[in-house]
């Protein structure tokens, strides 16, 4: 991280660094001169081994640009900041990556740390480089999110899912490697955290991509910083043991170096030094002592081709006795990351186990640099070809794996990681959730808990309020906002992606509709029964049993719900139930002359009772109810034109009345014709507000004549309230006409 703030002046991409006139932020003695000439020379030499001069020039331009952008910034160590991107690019040059990736490595921190934008990079270095830089910057941003330690696996998947281009991951890994190499200047606690993260996240990614040399180096560095004391003790012990081991090692080496040529095999043989983290892990995981781990000797044998690998194996098995069950043929059945070798363990002199790896040069190359070895940059390679090469590599792995019968594990590792079907997001507490691609905050809410899903009303994504239907992207931080009385909205079914959310929403809606319909059905049936002098509550159980048997209904509640939904007529059900049951009391114990059979309406009741959208009845209006099949009870005004044509039909009409003393707000529509003058809408709206009403909706007929027609949907308590509003609006001089409005289209 830079110590100094980025230069305030934005950089003209065309400028050469020397031309940037900027006062020195740091004095010469604060900023010990670090000579990068040597590093640059090494970098150039490495590029020259595989790039054309014009490509080297392109990479050089990226260096000049990055150097200028980071001018004045320093690493914690005091080195100029550019030394870091240079080291990252050098590592990538070691893997022979293409000029785009090298340029992006040099520019990888300019978007985060300076005022340079992605557009500026694209303009200067092209879209491919800009996308790579942007990809790395995105990874850096999620890296700064905290996450629960137990979720390292999900975090790894999220990184891979976000990268899309393998090169982004390669840049990120090289970035992490250099940061690990320069970790000494950090506070010890921060050092430990970064080291832990490297062991949990980045080393396994390197392993999965087959970058074994990098994998070991990251582990070694991380081990040193995460467990400094254990590292020191082990490293001292290994040094001490080396003297004793040397004799055994050279004895075995000599034996092998004689045995192979004797069998006509030309081979390169080397002793393998065990790395400290590997020793440490073996001690911990296999509960072995230090000497038990160190007593295993490792050798690597590299031969010219695949067939010779097996010949060498035979020669070695003749030299020393093999340990049964330890032979593994990773040539015939490669590991998931493409690794190929023969592994065997022999019983060496003095009875010590000797571990042998046999491979050819190609396999060795893959073993050391994995996916990067397939990205080797060649002159003629276009990016297209490189992409094709990567897919070909993946394809070849698929084929190798499927013959080994272990394709499911392979697919899980490579395909899922590089082409994931999941999206990974953070909760505000840093928990990572994996959701199907295309998921929305509603899916996340249901993944957290059914109650959160059922009550979610809004969400904030990366601290910004967003609609619930927003598609989530990898690395988003999502906060769900709930309200105690909220309920699932049927519209959610249109965009949720997870099966869990879908089924929970369906379940809620079905249950709710069933409950509401059953409650309405109960009211309708009791009224129908009262006409026959019967009370629903006092109906004998046999009456219901008989009815259910005859009608094939599942339960009493199901019958009530069907009545509520208009699928059964209450009068008919009542008559069938009444058969053989004696009327308890004479019909109609009238009270206050009210039509005692009417159903009382106290407002809309979910799906079971709705107020007609056409006439929008309000308390005080004479009303009539109509049961429509599958839609429950719809309440209309007596004079609603929408039901006029149904009047003559024998429909399922129900007597309804407003509940006495009803309170609440009801929607009413009005139409205002006013003179087409400036400010008339504001004046009408003010008049409505003064009469204590809220405007729910306004629309306008856009005739540009002398008069304009305005439609309002208002909230009113009843007819008296509406009359007061109409009077108030009528008093406005520009208003020509005002009426309550019935929408005949509904
Ligand atoms: Mn960096």
Q: Are residues 285 and 204 part of one domain?
A: no
Q: Are residues 53 and 179 part of one domain?
A: yes
Ligand 1 mean position to 175 CA, how many Å?
5
Task: Give the three-state DSSP class for 725.
Answer: helix
Ligand 1 mean position to 201 CA, how many Å?
16
Q: Which domain holds residue 482?
A: 421-497
616, HSE (Cβ side, Cα atoms, 13 Å)? 21
554 and 509 Cβ atoms separated by less than 8 Å: no
How confident is the model at residue 144, as a pLDDT?
63
Residues recognised as catalytic: 112-113
H helices present in 305-376, as ranges: 306-319, 361-373
71 and 20 Cβ atoms separated by less than 8 Å: yes
Q: Are residues 193 and 97 part of one domain?
A: yes
How confident is the model at residue 376, as a pLDDT?
53
Dist CA 667 CA 714 (whole Å): 5
Ligand 1 mean position to 427 CA, how many Å?
26
Phi, psi of 144 (to 5 degrees): -85, -5
Q: Are residues 635 and 576 part of one domain?
A: yes
Q: Which residues of the chain have pLDDT under 70?
A: 1-34, 143-154, 157-164, 336, 370-421, 582-597, 605-607, 630-631, 647-651, 702-704, 744-746
Dist CA 627 CA 527 (whole Å): 14
Dist CA 68 CA 7 (whole Å): 10
Query: Does a structural domain hold residue 397?
Result: no
Work out the angle at residue 195's Cα, subtended by the Cα atoms of residues 192 and 199, and round it to the nearest 5 degrees: 135
- Over the range 626-642, which residues count as b (16 or more CB within 10 Å of their CB) and which as e? bbeeeebbbbbbeebeb
Q: State how many domains the chain has.
A: 5
CA-to-CA separations, 278 to 275, 286, 290, 429, 624, in angstroms, rounded: 5, 12, 11, 34, 83
Neighbours of 50 (CB within 10 A): 16
How confident is the model at residue 404, as a pLDDT?
40
Dist CA 171 CA 108 (whole Å): 8
Dist CA 356 CA 322 (whole Å): 10
Q: Are residues 589 and 673 part of one domain?
A: no
Ligand 1 mean position to 109 CA, how many Å?
6
Ligand 1 mean position to 80 CA, how many Å?
13
Q: Are residues 725 and 715 part of one domain?
A: yes
What is the DSSP code (8-state) at residue 3? S
Ligand 1 mean position to 160 CA, how many Å?
17
Dist CA 678 CA 704 (whole Å): 12
Whole-prediction pTM: 0.58
Task: Give the three-state DSSP class for 477.
Answer: strand
Dist CA 289 CA 41 (whole Å): 46
Ligand 1 mean position to 26 CA, how many Å?
22
Query: Does a structural domain hold residue 391?
Result: no
What is the DSSP code (8-state) at residue 11? P
Query: Does a structural domain hold residue 159?
Result: yes
Dist CA 710 CA 721 (whole Å): 20
Ligand 1 mean position to 108 CA, how many Å?
6
Ligand 1 mean position to 707 CA, how many Å?
67
In the numeric block, the tokens 């009741």 are attached to: 605
Query: Does a structural domain hold residue 383?
Result: no
Task: Give the three-state DSSP class for 273.
Answer: coil
Dist CA 458 CA 24 (whole Å): 49
The angle that helices 166-181 and 361-373 make with each other, rounded to 10 degrees, is 100
Ligand 1 mean position to 417 CA, how many Å?
23
Q: Residue 256 is part of a domain; what is its CATH number? A: 3.30.460.10
Dist CA 541 CA 349 (whole Å): 92
230 and 200 Cβ atoms separated by less than 8 Å: no
Tell me what percent of the chain is helix, strand and coil, each rounded to the nearest 5: 50, 15, 35
257 and 319 Cβ atoms separated by less than 8 Å: no
Q: Are residues 682 and 536 part of one domain?
A: no
Neighbours of 572 (CB within 10 A): 11
Q: Residue 147 is part of a domain; what is its CATH number? A: 1.10.3210.10
Ligand 1 mean position to 87 CA, how many Å?
10
Ligand 1 mean position to 186 CA, how many Å?
15
Ligand 1 mean position to 58 CA, how many Å?
21
H helices present in 376-498, as ranges: 383-404, 407-410, 416-418, 441-448, 450-455
208 and 98 Cβ atoms separated by less than 8 Å: no
Q: Which tokens in the block code for residue 84?
A: 């870091």
Ligand 1 mean position to 140 CA, how many Å?
8
377 and 51 Cβ atoms separated by less than 8 Å: yes
Pairing type for strands 432-436 and 735-740 reads: unpaired
Q: Report DSSP letters for 588-649, one per residue.
A: ----TT--TTPEEE-S-BTTTEEE-TTT---TTS-EEEEEETTTEEEEEETT-HHHHHHHTS
Q: Which tokens in the block code for residue 184?
A: 């000494």
Neighbours of 583 (CB within 10 A): 12
319 and 295 Cβ atoms separated by less than 8 Å: no
Q: Which tokens in the block code for residue 15?
A: 């400028």
Task: Give the three-state DSSP class for 718.
Answer: coil
Q: Are residues 223 and 365 part of one domain?
A: no
CA-to-CA separations, 232 to 189, 209, 239, 280, 367, in angstroms, rounded: 18, 30, 11, 12, 29
Of 199, 227, 255, which residue sits at a domain end? 227
Ligand 1 mean position to 20 CA, how many Å?
23
How confident is the model at residue 392, as a pLDDT?
54
How confident is the model at residue 638, as a pLDDT?
83
Q: Are residues 255 and 369 part of one domain?
A: yes
Ligand 1 mean position to 84 CA, how many Å?
7
How confident is the model at residue 364, as a pLDDT?
87
580, HSE (Cβ side, Cα atoms, 13 Å)? 10
Q: Residue 697 is part of a domain; what is its CATH number? A: 3.30.70.260
Ligand 1 mean position to 8 CA, how many Å?
21
Q: Give the dihedral sign, CA 215/218/221/222.
A: negative
Q: Are residues 504 and 483 part of one domain?
A: no
Q: Are residues 503 and 493 part of one domain?
A: no
Dist CA 510 CA 504 (whole Å): 10
Task: Give the three-state DSSP class for 161.
Answer: helix
Q: Looking at the DSSP assignment, which residues form a beta bridge with residue 481?
A: 458
Dist CA 538 CA 400 (whole Å): 75
639 and 632 Cβ atoms separated by less than 8 Å: no
Pairing type for strands 422-426 and 432-436 reads: antiparallel
Ligand 1 mean position to 365 CA, how many Å?
27
Dist CA 287 CA 220 (whole Å): 20
Query: Does a structural domain hold residue 205?
Result: yes
- Over the range 468-504, which residues count as b (16 or more CB within 10 Å of their CB) and which as e? bebebebbbebbbbbeeeeebeeebeebbbbebbbeb
Ligand 1 mean position to 382 CA, how many Å?
27
Q: Which tokens in the block code for residue 719?
A: 């007819």
CA-to-CA separations, 681 to 621, 675, 687, 706, 711, in angstroms, rounded: 28, 10, 10, 14, 11
Query: Does a structural domain hold residue 404?
Result: no
Ligand 1 mean position to 198 CA, how many Å?
14
Ligand 1 mean position to 114 CA, how many Å?
13
Dist CA 574 CA 551 (whole Å): 13
Ligand 1 mean position to 506 CA, how many Å?
48
Nearest to 174 by CA among 101, 275, 277, 81: 101
Query: Does a structural domain hold residue 416?
Result: no
Phi, psi of 298 (to 5 degrees): -115, 140
Q: Are residues 515 and 631 part of one domain?
A: yes
Q: Residue 484 is part of a domain; what is its CATH number? A: 3.10.20.30
Pairing type for strands 694-701 and 707-716 reads: antiparallel
How confident is the model at residue 102, as a pLDDT?
93
Ligand 1 mean position to 626 CA, how many Å?
70
Length of the chain: 746
Query: Does a structural domain hold residue 31?
Result: yes
In the numeric block, the tokens 């070909």 are attached to: 392
Of 497, 528, 546, which residue sits at a domain end? 497
Of 204, 227, 250, which residue sits at a domain end? 227
In the numeric block, the tokens 């006509």 are attached to: 264
Neighbours of 122 (CB within 10 A): 16
Nearest to 517 by CA among 488, 559, 578: 559
pLDDT in tens, 39-82: 888 999 889 888 888 889 999 999 999 999 998 888 888 888 99
How confident is the model at residue 30, as a pLDDT?
38
How confident is the model at residue 446, as a pLDDT?
95
């Amino acid at each position: 991280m830079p110590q100094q703030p980025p230069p305030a002046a934005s950089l003209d991409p065309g400028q050469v660094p020397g031309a940037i006139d900027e006062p020195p932020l740091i004095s010469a003695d604060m900023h010990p001169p670090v000579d990068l000439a040597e590093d640059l020379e090494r970098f150039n030499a490495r590029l020259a081994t595989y790039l054309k001069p014009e490509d080297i020039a392109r990479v050089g331009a990226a260096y000049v640009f990055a150097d200028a952008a980071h001018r004045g910034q320093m690493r914690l160590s005091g080195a100029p900041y550019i030394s870091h991107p240079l080291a990252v690019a050098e590592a990538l040059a070691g893997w022979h990556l293409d000029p785009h990736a090298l340029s992006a490595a040099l520019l990888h921190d300019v978007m985060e740390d300076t005022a340079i934008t992605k557009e500026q990079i694209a303009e200067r270095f092209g879209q491919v480089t800009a996308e790579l830089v942007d990809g790395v910057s995105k990874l850096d941003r999620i890296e700064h999110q905290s996450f629960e330690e137990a979720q390292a696996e999900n975090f790894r998947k999220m990184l891979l899912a976000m990268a899309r281009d393998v090169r982004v991951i390669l840049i990120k890994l090289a970035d992490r490697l250099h940061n690990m190499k320069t970790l000494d200047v950090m506070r010890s606690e921060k050092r430990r955290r970064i080291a832990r993260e490297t062991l949990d996240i980045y080393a396994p990614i390197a392993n999965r991509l087959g970058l074994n040399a990098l994998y070991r180096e990251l582990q070694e560095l991380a081990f040193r910083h995460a467990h400094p004391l254990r590292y020191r003790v082990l490293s001292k012990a290994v040094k001490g043991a080396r003297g004793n081991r040397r004799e055994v090692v050279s004895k075995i080496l000599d034996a092998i170096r004689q045995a192979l040529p004797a069998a006509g095999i030309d081979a390169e043989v080397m002793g393998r030094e065990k790395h400290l983290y590997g020793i440490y892990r073996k001690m911990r995981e296999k509960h072995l002592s230090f000497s038990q781990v160190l007593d295993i000797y490792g050798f690597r044998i590299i031969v010219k081709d695949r067939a010779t690998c097996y010949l060498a194996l035979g020669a070695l098995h003749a030299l020393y006795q093999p340990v049964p069950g330890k032979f593994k043929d990773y040539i015939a059945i490669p590991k998931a990351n493409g690794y190929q070798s023969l592994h065997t363990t022999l019983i060496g002199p003095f009875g010590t186990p000797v571990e042998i790896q046999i491979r050819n040069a190609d396999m060795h190359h893959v073993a050391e640099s994995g996916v990067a070895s397939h990205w080797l940059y060649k002159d003629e390679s276009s990016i297209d070809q490189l992409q094709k090469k990567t897919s070909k590599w993946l394809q070849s792995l698929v084929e190798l794996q499927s013959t080994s019968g272990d394709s499911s594990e392979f697919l899980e590792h490579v395909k899922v990681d590089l082409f994931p079907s999941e999206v990974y997001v953070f909760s505000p507490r840093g928990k990572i959730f994996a959701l199907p691609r295309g998921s929305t905050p509603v899916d996340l809410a249901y993944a957290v808990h059914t109650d959160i899903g059922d009550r979610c009303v809004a969400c904030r994504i990366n601290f910004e309020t967003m609609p619930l239907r927003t598609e989530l992207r990898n690395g988003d931080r999502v906060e769900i906002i709930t309200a105690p009385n909220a309920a699932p909205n049927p519209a959610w079914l249109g965009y949720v992606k997870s099966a869990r959310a879908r089924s929970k929403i369906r379940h809620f809606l079905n249950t709710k509709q069933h409950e509401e319909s059953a409650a309405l059905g109960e009211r309708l049936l009791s009224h129908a029964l009262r006409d026959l002098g019967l009370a629903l509550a006092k109906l004998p159980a046999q009456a219901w049993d008989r009815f259910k048997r005859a009608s094939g209904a599942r339960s009493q509640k199901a019958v009530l719900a069907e009545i509520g939904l208009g699928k059964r007529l209450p009068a008919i059900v009542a008559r069938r139930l009444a058969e053989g049951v004696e009327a308890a009391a004479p019909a109609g114990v009238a009270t206050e002359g009210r039509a005692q059979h009417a159903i009382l309406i106290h407002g809309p009741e979910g799906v079971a009772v709705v107020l007609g959208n056409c006439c929008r009845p309000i308390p005080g209006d004479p009303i009539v109810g109509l049961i429509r099949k599958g839609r429950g009870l719809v309440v209309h005004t007596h004079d609603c034109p929408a039901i006029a044509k149904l009047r003559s039909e024998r429909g399922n009409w129900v007597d309804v009345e407003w509940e006495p003393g009803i309170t609440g707000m009801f929607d009413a529509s009005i139409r205002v014709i006013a003179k087409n003058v400036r400010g008339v809408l504001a004046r009408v709206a003010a008049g409505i507000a003064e009469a204590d009403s809220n405007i729910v909706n306004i629309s306008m007929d856009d005739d540009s004549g002398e008069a304009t027609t305005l439609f309002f949907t208002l909230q009113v308590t009843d007819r008296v309230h509406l009359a007061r509003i109409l009077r108030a609006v009528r008093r406005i001089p520009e208003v020509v006409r005002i009426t309550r409005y019935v929408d005949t289209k509904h």
